[in-house]
Structures are given as structure tokens and as C-alpha cells.
Structure 1
Amino acid sequence: MTWRQTKDAPFYVGYLNAVPKPLLVFLSVFAVCFAGGMGLAALALSSTQNDPGSGGFQWGNRFEEAGLLELRPYPVFRVPADGTTPARTYMLSGQGKRGVFGPAKANKETPVNLRGVPVNRGDLTMIQIGKVEATEDGPTGFQPSDPVPLGRWKLSGEICDGKCYAGAMRPGRGLAHKACADLCLTGGIPPVFVSTGPVEGRTFFLMADKNGNLLGDEIKDLLALYIEVEGDVERLDDLMVFKADLATARILK
């Protein structure tokens, strides 16, 4: 390389308040191409992710109903039929990653007026409780129906925490959500089994152990995994309950 070639080539000097035009053009083209490439990479990566679903808090549709609180084995709110509207059973949660065992036990099978915010995803609705008050204007003579046994089933799917899967977080499932689901379930949020196949048209189930009791640490190793498990299914008004026999559980992938 001759001295003339070196002298004529563009060269940037940091303490000079100027950038040679050829370098300026190169950097501008590089910046545009880099930004465009990163945008295309982000689009390609996002297109491979599962649809997070349409779940979320229904802030514009506040919930207020009179009914009864029960433990089945997690707290649920039983609302009587009203005209052509059949009786309903709602799963419940507290603020954040907390359940509502305290209010449920304090007001068990006592008429209450319950206020809160629905968290809804498809057929799954959970009520985040805002306030529970004993009331004398509750449903007179309301006797909630007993669960209807639907037999023993082998279901494939995933164990999720009901609140996040319903829409408090999205997508609320999968390995990326495992740590959050663990915290929610430890805090008392009801676990939900999300099945790949329906039972009477429903694909989500409030979970209990095979005897209908609370689930404990035995489900932690199964969270966020695609599993197959057997158990008895019951219908509680419009809510399905899956009494899972975790001894039969196996990881499919």
C-alpha cells in the first residue's frame, strides 16, 4: 500500500468533530440493516411461540353475587340458579399469589355476598376476591347440589395454577411459567388440569388428590410438563373436578 492510498482512504479520528462521508454512509447502511435484521429475527422467534390465549382480568365486568362458600377441597363459591341461568360454581383466589382459605373457612356454608374481579379464559372463570360479607339477603333455602360422578378417565395435559392460566398472566403455562406456578400453588391458588381432550366438552378441571383432598408437594415435579394421569371426574354444577391418582402419572415428553 502506498502513502497516497493511505492518505486518501477515509480515517476517523476521535478528537475531530467530523466523520468521513464514506464511513458515515457505511455506518448508516449497517445500522438500518442491523435493526431490520433484529426485527425479522424477533418476528421469526415470536411466530414459533404458542398462542398465549385471550384470557385476562375482566375489569369492566365486576362480580357481585350472593351464595355459599365451600371447600371442595379448594375454596369455591356456589351460586344458585336464577331463572333460566343454571347454578354455577366458581373457583376463587386472593390478591397476588394467594388463596382464600381464611375467608372460606370463616364463612363456610354461610350465606355471603362476594365481590371481586373475574379472570376469564374460555370456559374457565376464577374470581379474584375483593370483599366477602355475611348477608341475610342470601339465597333462602339454597342447598347446593352434590357432585355428579362421570367415571374414571385417563387424561393427557398439563397441571397449571388456575389464576395465571385463566389470564392473570399469559400464556400462564409451560416451562417458562413453572416457577410462577409453583409459587401460586404454594400460596393456595387452586391447581387446574388443562387437558388435550374434553370430558363433556370441558378441557379444564379443578384438581384434587384421588381421595378428593388438597394436593401437596407431590405435584411440583409434574408442573409445566406434558403428562398422562388417571383419576375420577366429577361435575359440580358447571365446574369439572379431577380427582387425580398421581401414582399413575407419567411424563409423555
Structure 2
Amino acid sequence: MKKDEFYIGYVDEVGIGTKKTLKRFVIIAISVLMIGALLFGFFQRPAINSSFDFGNPTKVSGLYHESPYPMLRVAVAENEFKDLVLLGVGKFGPNPYLKEIREKEGGLNGKQLTIEGQLVYYNGKTLLEIDDSQNVSLANSKVNTFSFTKTLGQLTVEGEVIDPKCYFGVMKPGFGKIHRSCASLCIAGGVPPVLVSNGENGVENYFLLTDLKGNPIHRDILPYIGQPSKISGALSAIGDWKVLKINVDQIEKLDKKSSIY
């Protein structure tokens, strides 16, 4: 009659049967881990090609405008401009860093500013993070009159409300349910809300969101952040940004996993 092995580690040597069992377990465990790792990697969304120049400040000069959100209109070539959305450090907008010079100058709209900050950029959109009010200065005293806004009609679009700071480079990923609490803090702190929508051929479209009068919205949009939604509003363009004026109460939440692919 064959006897079962009874193994005590600090007394006996490992028996033949125990060795075979351990060897089989190790092989199976390693195989399962390798297959699981391959499957996990295969089904992951690729990391977006975004960038946050943390610790590497850049000095830029341009025309400041703040409707609906603080921006710096920078010349990148002859008759070609890019509008940089301004941000503050952490989960805040830029206003605390603009307050001192705004009060000193009696307003900044239409004035040339030089700002040293950290760039955040992705997919043709650029943001500029200000970390010190001393890094904001008046480039000259000239006040420019300008009209960047173009009316484009009405639009209904499906997408997801995100905070652009995290989505465009500071966090990867910066969207969806897992990022909802972080994005809510950013937008409540003054970061502009942006609607991300997938257009034709998978190309993403971005819309700055305002209320129906074109004023900034922050806390009213919080219940809809990170959730697939259908949003309608009046579409316009300010520089290279699209702006959607919306009635927050008319946002329709969609019963789907995500609007960002």
C-alpha cells in the first residue's frame, strides 16, 4: 500500500511527490501570470502622446484676453496664432497669479503680457501653467482691440466633460470615472471645463464650455464630469478653440461606458 508523503520542512528532505507538485504549481502559476500580463497589455488604451514640461519653464509673450477664460494669443508664424489657455499650479485656475498685475494695471484685457510658465500640450492644444505672479509682466502698455469670436451655429454632440490640464498632459489617463473626483477638484478650482468628442476617423474635438451668456462655468458642471453625455448649445470659435454655450440643466447623461475611445 502506497503511503502519502508527510513533509516537515525543518526535519525532512522534500519528497519526490512534493517536488513534483511544487514544480507543477510553479510552472502553472508563471504561465498564468505571463498570459494575464499579455492580455492586460493587449486590452489597454495606448498612452496618449501628450506632454507636461514640468520643471522646464518657457517664456512666451502674447495678447491677453479673458472671455470666456484667461488666454494668451501667441504669434507662431506670420498671420498665424495659437491661443494658450492659462492655468495655475495644482488644481486651480490662473486668476490668483494674475490678480496683482490686473489690479495694478486696472485690467489686462487686450494688453500684451509676457508669462514664464510650464507648457502642457497635446493634439494641437496648448496650455500654460503659471506658478508665480512674479513671472507675469506687461510687455508694453498698448491696448489692442480685437474680435476673435466667430459664430458657427447650433450643435449637438456626444462626449465627456474633462479638465484639460490633466487630460492634455499632467495625468495619463485624465478621463472617465476613475478620474472624476480629480477633475471635479480642478474645475471647481478654476480650470476651464472642456468637452471631448470623437469626430470622424477617430479625431478628437475639444469644446470650451460656458453658460448661455458666454460666462465661465465651474461648479454647475461638476455633476456631469467624467460621464458620457449629449450636450447641445451655440457653437463659436475663439482663435483656435471652439466654444459651446450651453444650458447645464439640459445635459443628457448617456447609458454607456465611455465617450472617449
Please, what TM-score do these two structures have when normalized by structure 1?
0.84
Shift in Å at residue 37 of structure 1? 0.8
1:160 pairs with one of 155, 159, 162: 162
Q: Identify which range, 222-231 or 48-57, moves more after superposition.
A: 48-57
Q: Which residue of structure 2 aligns with residue 243 of structure 1?
A: 245
Q: Identify which range, 48-57 or 145-154, moves more after superposition.
A: 48-57
Does residue 121 (structure 1) correspond to residue 115 (structure 2)? The answer is: no
Q: Which residue of structure 1 aligns with residue 186 of structure 2?
A: 184
Q: Which residue of structure 2 aligns with residue 95 of structure 1?
A: 89
Q: How do 1:179-218 residues align onto structure 2 when only pairs under 5 Å count?
A: 179-197=181-199, 203-218=205-220
Does residue 26 (structure 1) correspond to residue 21 (structure 2)? The answer is: yes
Asked if the contact 2:164–2:194 (Cα under 8 Å) also holds between the matched residues in 1, the reply is yes
- Rounded to whole Å, the distance in 2 between the matches of 1:13 and 1:29 is 20
Q: Identify which range, 35-44 or 237-246, moves more after superposition.
A: 35-44
Q: What is the RMSD computed on CA atoms of the aligned residues?
A: 2.6
Asked if the contact 1:113–1:138 (Cα under 8 Å) also holds between the matched residues in 2, the reply is no
Q: How do 1:43-54 residues align onto structure 2 when only pairs under 5 Å count?
A: 43-54=38-49
Asked if the contact 1:195–1:204 (Cα under 8 Å) also holds between the matched residues in 2, the reply is yes
2:61 pairs with one of 63, 66, 91: 66
Q: Give the direction of change, closer, same or farther, for the CA distance of 1:157–1:36 in structure 2 (3 Å limit).
A: same
Asked if the contact 2:94–2:129 (Cα under 8 Å) also holds between the matched residues in 1, the reply is no
Please, what TM-score do these two structures have when normalized by structure 2?
0.81
The letter of the residue matching 1:186 is: A
Asked if the contact 1:205–1:242 (Cα under 8 Å) also holds between the matched residues in 2, the reply is yes
Aligned-partner SS, 1:166: helix
Q: Percent identity?
A: 28
Residue by residue, what CA displacement relative to the aligned partner does 1:68-126 show, whole Å, maximum 9, x if unpaired? 433223222222x3652512211122222222112234433343211122211212221
Q: Which residue of structure 1 aligns with residue 36 of structure 2?
A: 41
Structure 1 unpaired stretches of 5+:
none
Structure 2 unpaired stretches of 5+:
103-107, 256-261
Q: How do 1:76-115 residues align onto structure 2 when only pairs under 5 Å count?
A: 76-79=71-74, 81=75, 83-84=77-78, 86-106=80-100, 107=102, 108-109=108-109, 110-115=111-116
- Rounded to whole Å, the distance in 2 between the matches of 1:219 and 1:74 is 15
Aligned-partner SS, 1:233: strand
Shift in Å at residue 202 of structure 1? 6.8
Shift in Å at residue 163 of structure 1? 0.5
Asked if the contact 1:75–1:100 (Cα under 8 Å) also holds between the matched residues in 2, the reply is yes
Residue by residue, what CA displacement relative to the aligned partner does 1:166-201 show, whole Å, maximum 9, x if unpaired? 021112111111111111112222111101237xx8
Residue by residue, what CA displacement relative to the aligned partner does 1:221-242 show, whole Å, maximum 9, x if unpaired? 2111111111112211112222
Q: Give the direction of change, closer, same or farther, for the CA distance of 1:33–1:163 in structure 2 (3 Å limit).
A: same
Shift in Å at residue 212 of structure 1? 1.1
The letter of the residue matching 2:160 is: E
Does residue 14 (structure 1) correspond to residue 9 (structure 2)? The answer is: yes
Shift in Å at residue 204 of structure 1? 0.5
Aligned-partner SS, 2:85: strand
The letter of the residue matching 2:71 is: V
